[in-house]
């Protein structure tokens, strides 16, 4: 029951007819009408009081349910825990700072990954060139740098090992690949009389050089990209040194 609420007072009924002989009829009628009006007003006031009391009780129940739900969402159980929470403005600022830190860390991570991928690519390229240079040792190529570029497209990475892919699709050691190229492309090799010895390749293959081979000058060769150089060599092209 709400504070301040007073239950309706029970009044004893009074029979106005006992005043019939003591009061004029008109006055008795007015008195009866006034009493009826007071009774109606009292009943109306009593009904409003009951309704207000019920609304107050229902309102407190609704407010309590709302507060309990809010505290449950915030993860607190007592008023002290609720007071310990940061205010909404502080929480919003903290969220903005956290978002900024996340974005910065994400950007730094992406930059580090790009740098790592670039370094890995450069390392692989250096490793290929070094392996090819070692494979060409012992062969009397006129321009080893040109041959190294031509053989790049045939190098296949198998795990940690670099192999050479022949025309038949067979994978062989890079040194055997260099010997195969020297055997099949004698136009890239110094004449045997100049250094003695052959290519060392034991397989078979038809040479693509000869009098009918395509030719390009050193300047034209230097202006070609790797793909064009590989195609040119595959078609039997020769680089002619001009002086």
CA–CA gap between residue 144 and residue 227 (Å, rounded) = 17
The greatest distance separating any two alpha carbons of the chain, rounded to the nearest whole angstrom, comes to 165
Conformational region of residue 236, where left means phi above 0, alpha means psi within -120 to 50, and beta covers everything else: left
pLDDT of residue 110: 92
Give me the average pLDDT of each 10-residue run along the chain (243 residues).
51 63 73 80 85 85 84 79 70 80 91 90 84 82 83 83 86 87 85 51 44 68 76 72 63
Query: At which residue do the structure tokens 């490793």 appear?
Result: 127
Check: pTM over 0.75? Answer yes or no. no
List the end-to-end C-alpha distance of the chain, in Å, as a whole number: 117
pLDDT of residue 207: 43
CA–CA gap between residue 132 and residue 152 (Å, rounded) = 8
pLDDT of residue 106: 93
pLDDT of residue 13: 57
Contacting residues for 141 by C-beta, under 8 A, at least 6 apart? 147, 182, 188, 189, 190
The residue among 225, 135, 212, 223 whose CA lies nearest residue 181 is 135
Encoding tokens for residue 197? 């010895």
CA torsion sign, 29 to 33 to 36 to 42?
A: negative
pLDDT of residue 192: 63
Number of H helices, E strands in the chain: 8, 5
Tell me, letter by letter, the H, E, C secondary structure of 64-80. HHHHHHHHHHHCCCCHH
């Amino acid at each position: 029951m709400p504070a301040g609420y007073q239950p309706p007072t029970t009044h004893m009924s009074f029979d106005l007819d006992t005043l019939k002989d003591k009061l004029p009829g008109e006055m008795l009628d007015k008195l009866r009408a006034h009493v009826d009006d007071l009774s109606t007003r009292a009943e109306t006031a009593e009904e409003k009081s009951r309704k207000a009391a019920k609304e107050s009780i229902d309102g407190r129940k609704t407010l309590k349910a709302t507060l309990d739900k809010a505290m449950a969402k915030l993860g607190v159980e007592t008023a002290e825990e609720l007071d310990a929470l940061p205010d909404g403005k502080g929480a919003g600022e903290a969220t903005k700072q956290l978002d900024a830190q996340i974005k910065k860390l994400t950007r730094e991570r992406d930059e580090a990954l790009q740098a790592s991928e670039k370094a890995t690519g450069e390392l692989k390229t250096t490793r290929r060139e070094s392996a090819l240079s070692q494979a060409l040792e012992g062969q009397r190529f006129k321009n080893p740098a040109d041959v190294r570029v031509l053989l790049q497209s045939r190098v296949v990475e198998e795990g940690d090992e670099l192999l050479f892919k022949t025309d038949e699709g067979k994978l062989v050691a890079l040194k055997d690949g260099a010997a195969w190229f020297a055997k099949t492309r004698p136009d890239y090799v110094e004449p045997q009389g100049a250094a003695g010895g052959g290519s060392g390749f034991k397989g078979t293959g038809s040479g693509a050089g000869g009098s009918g081979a395509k030719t390009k000058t050193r300047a034209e060769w230097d202006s070609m990209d790797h793909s064009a150089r590989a195609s040119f060599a595959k078609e039997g092209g020769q680089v002619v040194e001009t002086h």
